[in-house]
Amino acid sequence: MTYGVRIALLLWIGAAAPLPAAGQEGAGGQAATYDKHFFDRTQPSNAYEMVALLPGFTLVEGDGDVRGYSGAAGNVLIDGQRPAGKTDTLGAILKRIPAARVARIELIRAGSASHDMQGYALLANVVLAKAGTISGRIEAEQALYRHGRRGPRFSAQATVDGHGRVLDLFGTVYREIDDEHGFGVRNRFASDGAPLRLARYAQPEGADIAQATLAYRQPLFGGTLRLNGLVQDKRKFADIAYAVTFPAPDAITGSEREHARTWEGGLRYERALGAANDLELVGSYRSVATVGIDRETSASESSLSDERANASEAILRAALRHHRGDWAIEIGAEGAINILDSRNALIEDGDPVLLPQANVRVAEHRAEFFATASRPLDARLTAELGIRYEMSRLSQTGDIDLVKSLAFWKPRARLIWTPTPNQTLRLLVEREVGQLDFGDFVGAASLTSGTISAGNADLEPDSLWRIEATYERRFGAGSFTLAARREWISDLVDQLPVVADGTVYDAVGNIGAARRDIVEASLKWPLDGIGAKGVVVTADLVARRGRATDPSTGERRPISGDLPVEARIALTHDIPAWKLRWGGSFAFARTETAFKVEEVEADRLAGRLDLFVEYRPDARWTFRLFGKNLTDSPATRTRDIYAGVRGDSALRYRELRVLRSGRYVGLTVQRSFGG
């Protein structure tokens, strides 16, 4: 029997496993409900692990860096609503919710009349059980790294629930270590392979973070009001050291420090307007102040880079949802004001160096209007149509004065076919428009790489048309999902040369049309059907192939920053009789390439293995021992540096940097209290 036939047979056996009674499909396949009993055999410790077990569902965090609210929202609701804030990720919020607090999770499919899908085909709604008057959890963690580094963490969360008014408080202080940096070599070689410079190199990186959040909920005027606030202090650090051994001994030291302070507040109000309408109002404000100081010193020279930025965002959004009969209609509008004030400076050997467009203030006033309508065409077929219109006005002052106005239509059409209760096919056609990164308007220097980039005031957002087909097959408590999409991109934002004062700089800009093909596959496979009780295997794969015309060489090449392959496989094994849970995951090697004006930079992270074992002697205590990067995998950066613009210049040298952070282990202790 061939290997492929064996895999097909095992999948068929797994598919024959009956669906647990805890997972109930709603009418028309629009929703499924998974109560606490569905998760009993897997013993998840928090809502994040529970969401990861939902058949056919993959968590999308959203992007907190996206301006406005629409593009930043993820695909998980908590008690029917998304968090109003943007700094805290969905993953972090879900990990703070103990599994005992989750009453059930609803898997909502596109076409629902009661929820803002935000363009997603699936939403997970985590419905919380009523807590006791006071409940919460305390967590302590210590991770031990190579070279004596430590990663301590202390967190505390408390919920006060009284007469419909719920207050959630959370605070944490911790140090995170970047395990993609560490200790190794950084060597340079000529085009014929001869060594030009050999050096031992160290670049350990991390961040010290303190954060406090508050969330409050209460009934108000027949609806529900939610308030949230966040304060975060984040101090990144990197200590850099070269020990050059060839061609002559030399020592270079450096440091990178960045201090970011974030304040955020938000509100969300929902109210039913009669039997067929729901109103939702969202408002938020966020401010981030950042100071970054980089230094590099050798026996003969010194450099200092000083980057300071203040960014703010104010958002107001209103949506009205109408549901009558088979129709679900949503209309709404969103407005946002975003401001970035950035000041960058470079000093070499005590003298300032001119940075193109280093002092810039960017302000954006943006509005978006949207409408979505969906209805079942028959018992198995649902159609959804949507349209968004976005307009914005960008103004730049400082080293350059420029005002531009932008406007875009963004239509979307989705067709959902459910030929059988356990199979779904989704077809999607949509247009998307990207957002400009305000940081790309500002010139900056990197001492670590020895490069200067220019700001580009003439940037336009890229846009694309996407067509996508997704097949979802559910079997028992497992699922297999396969998606294929093609994207036709206009005005691709990538790297291009910019000339300032007669000097060619690398900058972010529009390089023309491009195309991207993506295939995604996801498997969630409980092995109970083949005798491995309590074992769940998950696997995820994303393959991309993009093609664009390089502005430096005129040749076709991949899109900068695209990962050709991302793949991960994980296994968990729950043994309730022993109050034990263990598992591990392996992330396959991945490579990211950036095609700059005078260099090509490729970052490769080798495959990594993580393992854990978790013991819960009772409902209140949890002990988790973990080991990460057990393969001691290297992070390799290869830079091909040219004498001038690529395509017109010869290769000056190749730089090879190989860093290892080492294996590390840790222990997490959690203690729950209250009801």
**pLDDT on residue 130:** 74
Q: What is the DSSP string of 279-322?
A: EEEEEEEEEEEEEEEEEEE-SS-EEEEEEEEEEEEEEEEEEEEE
pLDDT over threshold 50, residue 172: yes
Q: How many CB atoms lie within 10 A of CB 618?
A: 8
**pLDDT on residue 111:** 64
- Output the six-digit token pair for 397: 């002052």
Q: What is the DSSP string of 424-486?
A: EEEEEEEEEE----GGGGS-EEETTTTEEE---TT----EEEEEEEEEEEEETTEEEEEEEEE
Rounded to an integer, the average pLDDT of 44-69 is 82
pLDDT over threshold 60, residue 20: no
Residue 675's pLDDT band, with cuts at 50, 70 and 90, is low
CA dist., res. 239 & res. 634, Å (int): 19
- Each residue of 471-517: pLDDT tens digit? 999 998 899 999 999 999 999 999 888 877 777 878 888 999 999 99
**pLDDT on residue 134:** 87
CA dist., res. 9 & res. 1, Å (int): 10
**pLDDT on residue 508:** 87
82 or 132, which is more confident? 82
Rounded to an integer, the average pLDDT of 272-287 is 91
Residue 182's pLDDT band, with cuts at 50, 70 and 90, is very high
608 or 323, which is more confident? 608
CA dist., res. 235 & res. 292, Å (int): 10
543 or 402, which is more confident? 543
Q: Are 526 and 382 in contact (CB under 8 A)?
A: no
For residue 21, with 0-12 CB atoms within 10 Å meaning exposed, 13-18 middle and 19 or more buried, which class applies?
Answer: exposed
Residue 406's pLDDT band, with cuts at 50, 70 and 90, is very high
pLDDT over threshold 90, residue 568: yes
Mean pLDDT, the chain, rounded, equals: 88
604 sits in which H/E element: strand 599-605
- Each residue of 341-394: pLDDT tens digit? 999 999 998 899 888 888 989 999 999 999 999 989 998 999 999 999 999 999
Strands 122-128 and 76-78, bridge-based pairing: parallel
- Each residue of 303-335: pLDDT tens digit? 999 999 999 999 999 999 998 878 889 999 999
368 or 437, which is more confident? 368
Residue 80's pLDDT band, with cuts at 50, 70 and 90, is confident
**pLDDT on residue 324:** 80
504 or 418, which is more confident? 418
Domains for the chain: give ranges and CATH numbers.
22-129 (2.170.130.10), 131-263 (no CATH), 518-675 (no CATH)
pLDDT over threshold 90, residue 452: no
- Each residue of 199-231: pLDDT tens digit? 999 999 999 999 999 999 999 999 999 999 999
CA–centroid distance for 52 within its chain: 15
**pLDDT on residue 71:** 66
Q: How many CB atoms lie within 10 A of CB 148?
A: 6
- Each residue of 576-591: pLDDT tens digit? 889 999 999 999 999 9
**pLDDT on residue 131:** 63
pLDDT over threshold 50, residue 668: yes
Residue 118 gets the label, from left (phi > 0), alpha (psi -120 to 50) or beta, of left
- What separation in angstroms does the CA of 261 have from each of 87, 209, 238, 265, 364? 11, 10, 18, 14, 22
Rounded to an integer, the average pLDDT of 616-624 is 92
Q: Residue 604: beta bridge partners?
A: 591, 636
CA dist., res. 620 & res. 617, Å (int): 8
Residue 9's pLDDT band, with cuts at 50, 70 and 90, is very low
CA dist., res. 315 & res. 86, Å (int): 11
Rounded to an integer, the average pLDDT of 605-625 is 95
Rounded to an integer, the average pLDDT of 246-264 is 95
522 sits in which H/E element: strand 514-526
Range of lowest pLDDT (48-62, 368-382, 472-486, 596-610): 48-62
**pLDDT on residue 233:** 98
Rounded to an integer, the average pLDDT of 183-209 is 96
- Taking alpha carbons only, the member of 282, 256, 201 closest to residue 657 is 201
Range of lowest pLDDT (87-96, 200-209, 495-504, 628-637): 495-504
Residue 42's pLDDT band, with cuts at 50, 70 and 90, is confident
CA–centroid distance for 571 within its chain: 22
**pLDDT on residue 12:** 41
**pLDDT on residue 507:** 84
Identify the DSSP state of 530: G
CA dist., res. 292 & res. 308, Å (int): 6
% of the chain exceeding 70 in pLDDT: 93
Rounded to an integer, the average pLDDT of 415-434 is 94
Q: What is the DSSP string of 114-183?
A: SS--TT-SEEEEEEEPPP-SEEEEEEEEEEE-GGG-B--EEEEEEEEEETTEEEEEEEEEEEEE-TT--E
pLDDT over threshold 90, residue 669: yes
Rounded to an integer, the average pLDDT of 389-412 is 91
